[in-house]
Amino acid sequence: MRSTIASTGSQVLVAGVPWPLYKLLALGVGLAMFVIVAAVTISATPAVLAGALSGTLVWLSLGLASHPQS
């Protein structure tokens, strides 16, 4: 069953568990956006929302791009 679900994208081992590279990229983008917005606004609320939004958008868009529908 795993072979039918496995993606063709590159994977990175995180604590022994293979993660698709796009997920790590999305987490990095979300963290970077959080830090940037927190530094500019000096407020946690917009920083958390901007980080979550940007991370989610990257995660979903790259996830859909790497798993094309048949």
Both tokens of 10, joined, read: 């590159």
Residue for token pair 């790497």: 66
- Alpha carbons 36 and 25: distance in angstroms, whole number: 16
Both tokens of 17, joined, read: 């568990």
Q: Name the phi and psi angles at 11, rounded to 5.
A: -125, 155
67/2: higher pLDDT: 67
- Alpha carbons 30 and 58: distance in angstroms, whole number: 8
Q: pTM of this prediction?
A: 0.77
Element counts in the chain: helices (H) and strands (E): 3, 2
7/50: higher pLDDT: 50
How does the average pLDDT of the chain come out, rounded? Answer: 86
